[in-house]
Structure 1
Amino acid sequence: MIELYFAATPNGLKLKLFLEEAGLPYFITPVSLSKGEQFKPEFLAISPNNKIPAIVDHAPAGGGAPVAVFESGAIMLYLAEKIGQFIPKDTAARVEVLEWLFWQVAGLGPMAGQAGHFKVYAPEPVPYAIDRYTREVSRLYGVLDTRLDGREFIAGAFSIADIACYPWIVPHEAHGQNLADFPNLERWFIAMSQRPATVRTYEGVENAYTPKQPLSEEERRVLFGQGAAPKA
C-alpha cells in the first residue's frame, strides 16, 4: 500500500496520475499547504524539503521496513522500477524516458510554476517577470511540440515522461499559453486528458491557479515567505 502525501498542485497530481495508471493500491494523506502542514516535523521527516508530493511505501519490494521517498521525479522512478511499468528496460529507450522526465522536473515545472506565480499569486504585477517566464514556457512548449511531431507519446511507448508532463500542461491558460499554437502538443494533451486514469485523477480537483479568494497575508507568508531556518 502506498501512502501519498498530497495537495492538488501539478506535482501532486503527477503522482496521483501515476498511481491511477498503475492501478496500485494507495491512500491519500492530504497536506494543506496554506495552513503550513508541510512544515510539521512528522512531514519533514519524510520530505525534508517541505514540499509535496512524498510517499511512504508500506510494502516495498523484497519486504522490510516502509520506504519513504520525496521529490516527484524520484518517486516516479522508484515506483516505475518497483512495478516494472512505464520505463523501458532497454538502455537507450530508458535513457530517452529519463531525459524527458528530468526535462520536466528541471525545466517545464519550475518555469511554468514561476509563470503561474507571477500571473496569479504575486501581490502586484511584475511585467518583466511575467514576460520572462511566459516566454520561457512558450519556448518549452515549442520543444515539446517538436518532440511530439509524428509521435503518440513523448518517449516511444507511454511512460513516466508523459505522466510527469501532463499535469504541467493542464494549467496552460494560467501560464499564458494557447495550445492551438502547438498542434502536436495539443493533440497529445487531448489524448492524455481522455485516458480513464486521467479522468479519475482530476475528478473533483480544483485548478490550483484559480484561488476562490485572494490569499490572506498569513497564507501568503506560509506559501511564499519561507527562508532558511536559523541555525542553532
Structure 2
Amino acid sequence: MASHGKQFTLYTHNSGPNGWKVAIVLEELGLSYEPVFLDLMKGEHKAPEYLKINPNGRVPALIDHKNNNYTVWESNAVTQYLVDKYDNDRKISVAPGTNEYYTQLQWLYFQASGQGPYYGQAAWFSVYHPEKIPSAIERYRNEIKRVLGVLESTLSKQEWLVGNKATVADFSFLTWNDIAANLLLENFRFEEEFPATAKWNKKLLERPAIAKVWEEKAKAAAH
C-alpha cells in the first residue's frame, strides 16, 4: 500500500485526530515517516489489504521498516512503542520502571479511555448522527467539560502532566482538545473556563515540531 524509503509508514486520516497524535511524536523525535491517508468515506480502512495491517479497521497504524516491518496500532500503543524504542535521551518521555513512567502511562490510558471515546461520541451526536438527540449531545459535551476539569485540577498545580517537562502524556490530549474547542462546544471560552489547561495547550502548540504538524494537518484537511 505504500513505499517505504522512510523508516515508518503511518496509516492515518487527513482530519481524524488520532493519527496526528502519532505524527507529533514522530516529528518530535525526528523520525522519518511516510503518511498514507486512508479515505474513510470509501471504506479504505475496512479493505482486506488494510485489515491485514490493523484487524480493528481503524487509524492509525504504524509500520517500522527498520524493525522487520513491525506493525503496531492504537495511537497510544504506537506512542508508547516509539518512545520506549527511540526516545533514548528521554526528550519527550520518562524512563521505564520509574514512578513517573506509570504516571505517564496513567495519562495515556486516561486519554484513550476518558478523552477519546467521549469526545468522539460528542462529535458523532453533534455532527454526524442523522437525527439530533439533545440529551446525548448534552451528555457528551458535559463529559468534555469533565475531562478538561480533570486536566485543570492537575495543571493548575504544575506546568506539565508528568516529569516537569512536556511529554507524550501532554501531547496525547492536543488533537481532541482542538476539535472540542473549535467544533464541539458552543460559546466555549477556553481561557476563562479552564485557564491553566488553556495556557498549557497554547505552550504545546508553540513547540516547533507540533507547529509543523499543525501546518501539515491544515493542508491535509484542505484536501
Query: Is it true that 1:133 corresponds to 2:140 in the alignment?
Result: yes
Identical pairs, percent: 35
Please identify which structure carries the higher helix content.
2
Structure 1: 5+ residue stretches without partners:
213-232
3-state SS, counterpart of residue 34 of structure 1:
helix
Hey, what does 1:174 align to over in structure 2?
183
Residues of 2 paired with 1:206 and 1:40: CA distance?
26
Cα-to-partner distance string for 1:167-193 (whole Å, 9 max, x where unaligned): 111112322143120001000011111
Farther-moved stretch of structure 1 (83-92 vs 132-141): 83-92
Q: Compared with structure 1, are the counterparts of its residues 204 and 23 closer, same or farther at alpha carbon in structure 2 (3 Å cutoff)?
A: closer
Hey, what does 1:151 align to over in structure 2?
158
Residues of 1 paired with 2:105 and 2:27: CA distance?
21
3-state SS, counterpart of residue 29 of structure 1:
strand
The code of the aligned residue for 1:2 comes to F
3-state SS, counterpart of residue 175 of structure 2:
helix
Structure 2: 5+ residue stretches without partners:
1-6
Instruction: Report the alpha carbon displacement of residue 165 of structure 1 after superposing the two structures with TM.
Output: 0.8
Q: Please, what is the CA RMSD of the aligned residues?
A: 2.0
How many pairs are equivalent?
A: 207
- Pick from 31, 39, 60 the counterpart of residue 46 of structure 2: 39
Hey, what does 1:112 align to over in structure 2?
119
Instruction: Report the alpha carbon displacement of residue 204 of structure 1 after superposing the two structures with TM.
Output: 4.5
Residues of 2 paired with 1:40 and 1:3: CA distance?
17
Q: Compared with structure 1, are the counterparts of its residues 211 and 136 closer, same or farther at alpha carbon in structure 2 (3 Å cutoff)?
A: farther
- Pick from 165, 177, 200 the counterpart of residue 188 of structure 1: 200
3-state SS, counterpart of residue 205 of structure 1:
helix
Instruction: Report the alpha carbon displacement of residue 211 of structure 1 after superposing the two structures with TM.
Output: 10
Residues of 2 paired with 1:42 and 1:155: CA distance?
39
How is 1:1-232 mapped onto 2 (pairs within 5 angstroms)? 1-7=7-13, 8-60=15-67, 65-84=68-87, 85=90, 86-89=92-95, 90-156=97-163, 157-171=165-179, 172-176=181-185, 177-180=188-191, 181-206=193-218
Instruction: Report the alpha carbon displacement of residue 150 of structure 1 after superposing the two structures with TM.
Output: 3.1
Cα-to-partner distance string for 1:39-84 (whole Å, 9 max, x where unaligned): 1111111111100000000012xxxx21011111111101110013
State TM-score, norm by structure 2.
0.87
Farther-moved stretch of structure 1 (94-103 vs 34-43): 34-43
Residues of 2 paired with 1:207 and 1:120: CA distance?
22
Residues of 1 paired with 2:195 and 2:216: CA distance?
28
Q: Compared with structure 1, are the counterparts of its residues 204 and 78 closer, same or farther at alpha carbon in structure 2 (3 Å cutoff)?
A: closer
Residues of 2 paired with 1:41 and 1:205: CA distance?
27
State TM-score, norm by structure 1.
0.84
Question: Where in structure 1 do 4 or more consecutive aligned residues deviate above 2 Å?
Answer: 84-87, 204-208
Q: Compared with structure 1, are the counterparts of its residues 4 and 104 closer, same or farther at alpha carbon in structure 2 (3 Å cutoff)?
A: same
Cα-to-partner distance string for 1:175-231 (whole Å, 9 max, x where unaligned): 2143120001000011111111111111143499x999xxxxxxxxxxxxxxxxxxx
